[in-house]
Structure 1
Amino acid sequence: MAAHFGRRLRKGAATTAVAAVAVAALAASQAPGVATEDQGKQPTGAQATSEAVDGGSSDGSATGNGGYFTDLPPLNSPTASPSPSAGAATGVTGVSEAGIPATVLDAYKQAAAEVRESKPGCNLPWQLLAAIGKVESGQARGGRVDADGTTYSKILGPVLDGNGFAHITDTDNGVYDGDSRYDRAVGPMQFIPSTWAWAGRDGNGDGVEDPNNVYDAALAAAHYLCRFDRDLGVQSDMNAAILGYNNSQDYLDTVLSWYEYYLKGTHSIPDGSGTLPSHRSDDKPGTHPKPRKTDDAPGKPGKGSSTGPSPSLPGKPKPPSTSPTPTDTVDHLADGGTGTLSAMTGDTFGQKIVVKAVTKAGKAVPKVRVRFTISGDTDSTFAGGERVAAVVTDSAGKATAPALVAGARTGDFKVSAVVAGRTVTGVDFPVTVTERQADAVARTGDTPLTCTPGGEFADQVEVKATYKGAVADGVAATATLVKSADDPTENDKGPYFKDADGKTVRTLTGLTTDADGLLKLPKLYADDTAGTFLLRVTTAGGATVTIELDVAAATSTPSASPSA
């Protein structure tokens, strides 16, 4: 669970110092005898062993403790539910700063969702990834990414040549950062190559671990923060994780400020329209010469790195930033052939949602990221347990959502499909979840069910329910001793069940078939009335079976008289 704070870490310039002192005290309390600037980089015991095994840089830092954006969030809280097109152009700071580019936001949420499954004890909130992404790269330079989540041009941090930063000689032959002499932090989450070598992840399922891809980088950051069995719902663990990412008290204060701000509300804005921060820690006068070039610094969009050509990872061509992207050409989404969406509780829907991205002229548009969102009063999810899924359109312009899985709750809900990063017309799909049903039910045995008046039946009744020939598990059923085949009302005489108190019961409700579709009823008893009686079992879906019960006095065989 995300940590919550009793007050803002920043209430204006006058209170920033107070917040810093408070957080510093928290950090310092974690490791007595270790200076604040060493927090997060001097793990002990099992952590130290893990750090060494991971094979990171000497301090295990994600970023090499390089520069970062120092802009703080506005004092006013984010505006609730702004229009989807709200962004930097609105002129309202609260709305603008709370907006996160759609694809970048999707990457944060997917990364946090994956960690919830793989490391549930970490309790990583996606807002923490958003806060770090804001401070490290201004949310991938305001969301300048393609449909796969890869930045259009590389985001490179300062040269780590020891001039005001760590001294890290080249570890990747310039593959990621284009520098074969020194390392530089790379991508939306600013990983140095030596850390990426062991921390990198494939977040978008394309088979490549690319620090320039926001899905890959966000997932790597998520796992990086969750090392050492940390529980980020505990403030000291969250502080240690952030300081391990970039070892600076000011960095910790800044990230926590954005984290708290994002907890109060965010919204999605079109890719490329995010607000770019304007102040950096490495721009402070008198610290060191600026090692960055105009075109390759985070948050400084330009034509590419001025340090020479940067080798690209295979399969990741980058279109020029001035060219329209496939997403830019989409006019609307259309239904791609989705049928009726209905399933029983607990089942996977047999029909998948398919949409098609098309231009105004009706031409299919491939390589467009489509976001599918489940809304409404339902516990149904996509496969994997998420309510949001992002899929890139194929060569035919179609995007197929992951399979829907019905929850335990019946009723109607909606799945909406929109183009990530654009406010064009999408498609809404109505979905229905019904209770589990059977279309047939039959007794499993054929032994006659008989009893003497006042006695009990030797055999218990068992039935099996099926639906379209398959086992119907988890189906609700009712068993009633009826008056006749034509009168389904409860009989007032003849066989009966007993409740927990031993009282007579002739109708059983709340019954459910097991995993094999079987339902075994409790023992039956008989009163003093003789005759043939009927037991009717009815399942959800209307399947019924009527079973005869005979109550008759035992017959005795006359003994043979002795011969005269």
Structure 2
Amino acid sequence: MAAHFGRRLYKGAATTAVAAVAVAALSASEAPGVTADGQGRPTAAGATPAPEQPAAGDTATGNSHYYTALPPLKSPNPAPTTAVGLPVADTPSEAGIPATVLAAYKKAEAELRTAKPGCNLPWQLLAAIGKVESGHAGGGRVTADGTTITPILGPVLNGVGFANISDTDHGAYDNDSTYDRAVGPMQFIPSTWKWAGRDGNGDGKKDPNNVFDAALATGHYLCRFGWDLADTRDLRKAILSYNASEDYLNTVLSWMEYYRRGTHTIPDGTGAVPSERGGTGPTPGTPGTTPRPSSPSTPATDTPSTPGAPNGSGGPSTPGTPGKPGGGTSPSPDPTDPAPSKPTLPPSRTDIVDHLKDVDTPQLTARAGDAFTQRISARAETKTGKSLAKVRVRFVITGDTDTVFTGGEKIATVVTGASGVAVAPALQAGEKTGTFTVRALVVGRTVTGLDYRATVTERTADALARTGDTPLSCAPGGEFADQVELKATYEKAAAGKVAATATLVKSADDATANTKGPYFKDADGKPVRTLTDLRTDAKGVLKLPKLYADDTTGTFLLRVTTAGGATLTVELRVAPAGTPASPDPSPSQSPGTDTEPSTAPSPSTTTGSTASA
């Protein structure tokens, strides 16, 4: 079936009858998770029927344009071996996916399987979106590293037939310093790519024009918020967050199930690029052309796309100029938010939002690597203090921090409940310590936001203990047979990645580094008696380097201290081989020294280490 590549169709356009027949046939083929609604359109099991689809003003993309062509009625399983005498690799059928593009989809699935295993992302979903957005990068017109040969740019988002989105990237991605345009095979707008972009091919860059980068970014985008795509409800939410249209959802589901039934690889550049079906849109390969809807029967209620989704209007218009506007013009775009220039909610609700008010949010503090136990709560109110339900509140993490919300993102949008309160997802601290800000904003309104200060402190331990109890001793001038190994804990749990120092101290009361007795060696083999920049491993274990002894005999002390104040003092004995344990040293003589009074415990009366916190 030919797709509409030269232009977008509004819902209810000329292909509706053809689409209904195609989807009805696909639904009858027992595709898992897909059913048909009363009009023959496929829906995910448990999905909201099409008549209840979101209103254009309350969606991420405004229910805007996208390629509506559905897969052929005939299943591609099994994949053909020949067609008209040509090998399958040369067969430009709908089931054929260009080799590099297919590799990108499958690589993204593999990486998400490790990064977010609970998401259960199938590569066929990425392929379905790639098909709808750009015809698999214009039929696989990509270089060996996956970069599109011709830039795939959507229409200029200047408010003429599409959303009005001023430039957010200074033209870096879309070569337009006045307005934004959707970019690349998966049609991300620059403001969304800024936070959603990923490096999928390992070249150190995040390029929306690279199919590996774009596919991985799409995978992470679909897997945020802890969604499990094996659950049809979460699958539906994820697809609708890309383009909040029931028809878009059904089209993507149709292609995903089609690809699940079988695909085959074709050479790059030989893909079956969808062709135009009427209208006055641009021809494939015409860079920079803005598609124009030409059907006089276009419903007046269809609105231009609104920013916030990775793509806005649903896909490219040509291999060189695909067009799907979307994204957001706010400083911190979120793929689930509508355009600031369009109300998020019905005017009767949004127009009376006056301010946000904090709802007893406690001090936000967590150790590096830990989840914050405190949650941010903000209430949407009118000027008179009346609470408002169903208001979208966007929470944005700003500042030099690697802290994220649960799900791995730095932006989250929450709708206020009946009490008018929006509770942000839990914060997960990264490894960077310091203070950062979480900003709460009302989506679609120029309302002063709320700033919440949050602090990440260093990892700490509250207890240290040796992992063994073997006495530590050696002969003068020798080396200790056993290395000192310790276990750090915090609230009885292993304390990983905790900073520590180790010092061979003069005495129990004098933490100054000793000048005689046991020592470590530096990189040049010279004696050192203080080690800094130590850190426990992921299991809280700290294994110190080998210890050596000079010619001084006696009992010496090694003190290890961690961030958080956990301290352990370990005894080290230097004596000729076969020397029995000596009685307590004279009060006038410190072990291992000639002049200092001793306060060290006697080896005959201690267990080999002492600890304090």
Structure 1 position 404, deviation (Å): 1.6
| Structure 1: distance between partners of 2:507 and 2:548 | 19
Q: Does residue 470 of the first structure (1) align with residue 493 of the second (2)?
A: yes
Relative to structure 1, is the Cα distance of residues 238 and 519 closer, same or farther in structure 2, using a 3 angstrom cutoff?
farther
For the 8 Å contact 2:381–2:420, the answer to whether it is kept is yes
Q: Secondary structure at the residue paired with 1:510?
A: strand
Structure 1 position 214, deviation (Å): 5.7
Q: Does residue 124 of the first structure (1) align with residue 214 of the second (2)?
A: yes
For the 8 Å contact 1:496–1:525, the answer to whether it is kept is yes
| Structure 2: distance between partners of 1:524 and 1:114 | 48
Q: Does residue 544 of the first structure (1) align with residue 567 of the second (2)?
A: yes
Relative to structure 1, is the Cα distance of residues 211 and 478 closer, same or farther in structure 2, using a 3 angstrom cutoff?
closer
Structure 1 position 446, deviation (Å): 3.1
Structure 1 position 322, deviation (Å): 11
Q: Does residue 399 of the first structure (1) align with residue 482 of the second (2)?
A: no
1:109 matched residue in structure 2: 192
Structure 1 position 205, deviation (Å): 7.0
Structure 1 position 510, deviation (Å): 2.1
| Structure 2: distance between partners of 1:552 and 1:468 | 38
Q: Could you list the per-position Cα deviations for residues 387-431 of structure 1 after superposition, in whole angstroms to 9, with x for gaps in the alignment?
A: 211111222222222222222222211110101111112210111
Letter matched to residue 291 of structure 1: S
Q: Secondary structure at the residue paired with 1:122?
A: helix
Matches within 5 A, 1:354-369: 354-369=377-392
Letter matched to residue 533 of structure 2: G
Residue in structure 1 matching 2:244, options 183, 206, 213: 213
1:280 matched residue in structure 2: 292
For the 8 Å contact 2:472–2:571, the answer to whether it is kept is yes
2:297 matched residue in structure 1: 291
Structure 1 position 123, deviation (Å): 2.2
Relative to structure 1, is the Cα distance of residues 41 and 325 closer, same or farther in structure 2, using a 3 angstrom cutoff?
farther
Structure 1 position 352, deviation (Å): 2.1
For the 8 Å contact 1:203–1:219, the answer to whether it is kept is no
Matches within 5 A, 1:491-506: 491-506=514-529
Q: Secondary structure at the residue paired with 1:124?
A: helix
Letter matched to residue 455 of structure 1: G
Residue in structure 2 matching 1:449, options 462, 472, 490: 472
1:250 matched residue in structure 2: 282
| Structure 2: distance between partners of 1:461 and 1:454 | 18
1:381 matched residue in structure 2: 404
Relative to structure 1, is the Cα distance of residues 391 and 489 closer, same or farther in structure 2, using a 3 angstrom cutoff?
same
Relative to structure 1, is the Cα distance of residues 202 and 252 closer, same or farther in structure 2, using a 3 angstrom cutoff?
farther
Relative to structure 1, is the Cα distance of residues 218 and 375 closer, same or farther in structure 2, using a 3 angstrom cutoff?
farther
Letter matched to residue 460 of structure 2: Q
Q: Secondary structure at the residue paired with 2:294?
A: helix
Q: CA RMSD in A?
A: 5.4
Give the TM-score taking structure 1 as reference length: 0.52
| Structure 1: distance between partners of 2:363 and 2:483 | 41
Q: Secondary structure at the residue paired with 1:123?
A: helix
| Structure 1: distance between partners of 2:283 and 2:414 | 34
| Structure 2: distance between partners of 1:400 and 1:447 | 53
For the 8 Å contact 1:378–1:409, the answer to whether it is kept is yes
Residue in structure 1 matching 2:375, options 338, 352, 356: 352
Relative to structure 1, is the Cα distance of residues 62 and 503 closer, same or farther in structure 2, using a 3 angstrom cutoff?
closer
| Structure 2: distance between partners of 1:215 and 1:467 | 50
For the 8 Å contact 1:370–1:393, the answer to whether it is kept is yes
Residue in structure 1 matching 2:449, options 426, 439, 442: 426
| Structure 2: distance between partners of 1:359 and 1:393 | 13
2:57 matched residue in structure 1: none
Letter matched to residue 298 of structure 2: R
1:554 matched residue in structure 2: 577
Relative to structure 1, is the Cα distance of residues 126 and 513 closer, same or farther in structure 2, using a 3 angstrom cutoff?
closer
Relative to structure 1, is the Cα distance of residues 361 and 547 closer, same or farther in structure 2, using a 3 angstrom cutoff?
same
1:523 matched residue in structure 2: 546
| Structure 2: distance between partners of 1:513 and 1:216 | 53
Letter matched to residue 411 of structure 1: G
Q: Secondary structure at the residue paired with 1:459?
A: coil
Q: Could you list the per-position Cα deviations for residues 203-258 of structure 1 after superposition, in whole angstroms to 9, with x for gaps in the alignment?
A: 79759969982699599879989x99xxxxxxx989989x6597897266688567
Q: Does residue 342 of the first structure (1) align with residue 365 of the second (2)?
A: yes
Letter matched to residue 542 of structure 1: G
Structure 1 position 476, deviation (Å): 1.0
Give the TM-score taking structure 2 as reference length: 0.49
Q: Could you list the per-position Cα deviations for residues 73-102 of structure 1 after superposition, in whole angstroms to 9, with x for gaps in the alignment?
A: 67xx956799xxxxxxxxxx987x5599xx
Relative to structure 1, is the Cα distance of residues 536 and 515 closer, same or farther in structure 2, using a 3 angstrom cutoff?
same
Out of 423-432 and 382-391, give the one that drifted further. 382-391
Relative to structure 1, is the Cα distance of residues 72 and 490 closer, same or farther in structure 2, using a 3 angstrom cutoff?
closer
Q: Could you list the per-position Cα deviations for residues 532-552 of structure 1 after superposition, in whole angstroms to 9, with x for gaps in the alignment?
A: 111010111222111111212
Q: Could you list the per-position Cα deviations for residues 484-541 of structure 1 after superposition, in whole angstroms to 9, with x for gaps in the alignment?
A: 2222221111011223443322122221111221112122121110111110101112
Letter matched to residue 461 of structure 1: V
Residue in structure 2 matching 1:510, options 505, 519, 533: 533
For the 8 Å contact 2:98–2:269, the answer to whether it is kept is no
Letter matched to residue 420 of structure 1: V
| Structure 2: distance between partners of 1:441 and 1:300 | 59
2:351 matched residue in structure 1: 328
Structure 1 position 124, deviation (Å): 2.4
Structure 1 position 110, deviation (Å): 9.2
For the 8 Å contact 1:203–1:215, the answer to whether it is kept is no
Q: Does residue 411 of the first structure (1) align with residue 434 of the second (2)?
A: yes
| Structure 1: distance between partners of 2:254 and 2:194 | 9
| Structure 1: distance between partners of 2:199 and 2:255 | 14
Q: Does residue 485 of the first structure (1) align with residue 508 of the second (2)?
A: yes
Relative to structure 1, is the Cα distance of residues 409 and 209 closer, same or farther in structure 2, using a 3 angstrom cutoff?
closer
For the 8 Å contact 1:535–1:546, the answer to whether it is kept is yes
Relative to structure 1, is the Cα distance of residues 417 and 254 closer, same or farther in structure 2, using a 3 angstrom cutoff?
farther
Relative to structure 1, is the Cα distance of residues 488 and 221 closer, same or farther in structure 2, using a 3 angstrom cutoff?
farther
For the 8 Å contact 2:516–2:552, the answer to whether it is kept is yes
Q: Structure 1 vs Structure 2: percent identity of aligned residues?
A: 47
| Structure 1: distance between partners of 2:177 and 2:190 | 22
Stretches of structure 1 that go unaligned for 5 or more consecutive residues are: 1-39, 83-92, 129-199, 229-235, 259-278, 284-289, 302-319, 558-564
Matches within 5 A, 1:85-100: 97=179
| Structure 1: distance between partners of 2:124 and 2:550 | 75
Q: Secondary structure at the residue paired with 2:470?
A: coil
| Structure 1: distance between partners of 2:405 and 2:242 | 27
Q: Could you list the per-position Cα deviations for residues 305-344 of structure 1 after superposition, in whole angstroms to 9, with x for gaps in the alignment?
A: xxxxxxxxxxxxxxx9996343333221111232111222
Relative to structure 1, is the Cα distance of residues 218 and 110 closer, same or farther in structure 2, using a 3 angstrom cutoff?
farther
Relative to structure 1, is the Cα distance of residues 497 and 205 closer, same or farther in structure 2, using a 3 angstrom cutoff?
farther
For the 8 Å contact 1:367–1:394, the answer to whether it is kept is yes
| Structure 1: distance between partners of 2:216 and 2:192 | 5
More helix by share: 1
For the 8 Å contact 1:497–1:523, the answer to whether it is kept is yes
Relative to structure 1, is the Cα distance of residues 212 and 533 closer, same or farther in structure 2, using a 3 angstrom cutoff?
closer
| Structure 1: distance between partners of 2:277 and 2:287 | 12
Q: Could you list the per-position Cα deviations for residues 86-133 of structure 1 after superposition, in whole angstroms to 9, with x for gaps in the alignment?
A: xxxxxxx987x5599xxxx9999399949989x9963229999xxxxx
2:558 matched residue in structure 1: 535
Relative to structure 1, is the Cα distance of residues 73 and 216 closer, same or farther in structure 2, using a 3 angstrom cutoff?
closer
